[in-house]
Structure 1
Amino acid sequence: MKIAHKMSRPIKGEDEDEFYASMAAATPVSLLMTKSADLMTCEATDDATEVVERPDLSDFDHIPVKSEGQIIGIFDRATPGITGSVDKTFRRLSARYLIGDRTSVFSFIERADSERCCIVIGEKGVVGMVTVSDLQKLPVQVALFGLTAQFESLVSDHLRRALDDAQEKYASVLGLLAPNEVRKVRGFQRHNEARNLSIDWISPLSLGQKLKALRAVRPQIMNWTEAEQVRDLRDSIAHGKEFARTYDLIKNLVSSKRAMVSLISRLKRTLR
Structure 2
Amino acid sequence: MTWAANHGASLEVLREVQGSLTVDLIMVPRSSFETCTPGETAAQIKARNVDQFSYFPVVDEQKRVVGLYYAERWFDADAPNTPIGKDFDRLSEDIVIGADASIFDFVMQADVNSTNLVVSGNQIAGLVSLSDLQKLPVRAALFALITSLEMAMGLAITKRWPSSTDWLSLLSNGRREKLMTAIEDARARDSFVNEIAYTQFSDKADLIFKGRMLSQGRTRLGKSFRDIRDLRDSLSHANQYAETTDAAKNVCEVVRFIYTTKAELLKVIETTEK
TM-score (norm 2): 0.81
CA gap of 1:26–1:231, structure 2 versus 1, over 3 A, is same
**Shift of residue 101 of structure 1?**
0.6
The structure-2 alpha-carbon separation of the partners of 1:222 and 1:237, relative to structure 1 and needing over 3 Å to count, comes to farther
**SS in structure 2 at match of 1:120:** strand
* 1:203 corresponds to: 197
Identity %: 24
Query: Is contact 1:28-1:102 (8 Å) kept?
Result: yes
Which residue in the other structure is 1:10 paired with? Answer: 6
Task: Please give the per-residue CA displacement for 1:213-261, whole angstroms capped at 9, x wherever unaligned.
Answer: 3433x13444343451433433333333433232322332222212111
Aligned match for 1:60, one of 50, 53, 73: 53
Distance 1:49 1:201, change over 3 A: same
Change (3 A) 1:214 1:67: closer
Counterparts of 2:115 and 2:88, CA distance in 1: 13
2:20 corresponds to which of 26, 33, 38: 26
Asked if the contact 2:108/2:252 (under 8 Å) is kept, the reply is yes
Structure 1 unaligned spans of 5+: 1-7
Letter in 2 for 1:64: P
8 Å CA contact retained: 1:29, 1:105? yes
Q: Select 2:141's aligned residue among 117, 140, 143.
A: 143
Q: Give the counterpart letter for 2:65 in structure 1.
A: I
1:74 aligns with 2:71: no
Q: Where does residue 3 of structure 1 map in the other structure?
A: none
Which one of the candidate residues 31, 41, 50 is aligned to 2:35? Answer: 41
Name structure 2 gaps, 5 residues minimum. Answer: none
Contact 2:213 2:265 in 1 (8 A): no
CA contact (8 A) 1:132 1:250 kept: yes
Task: Indicate the SS of the match to 1:118.
Answer: strand
Task: Kindly provide the CA deviation profile for residues 1-60 of structure 1, in whole angstroms up to 9, marking residues without a partner as x.
Answer: xxxxxxx952339x84x55542321121101100101122233333432321325x4242
Tell me how far apart the structure 2 counterparts of residues 139 and 75 of structure 1 sit (CA, whole Å): 27
Amino acid in the other structure paired with 1:201: E
* Higher mean C-alpha displacement, 64-73 vs 107-116: 64-73
1:93 corresponds in structure 2 to 91
Quick check: 1:105 aligned with 2:103? yes
Aligned partner of 2:212 in structure 1 is 219
Q: CA RMSD in A?
A: 2.8
In structure 2, the CA distance between the partners of 1:43 and 1:191, relative to structure 1 (3 Å rule), is farther
Deviation at 1:164, TM superposition (A): 2.0
Aligned-pair CA distance for 1:90: 2.7
Aligned residues: 257
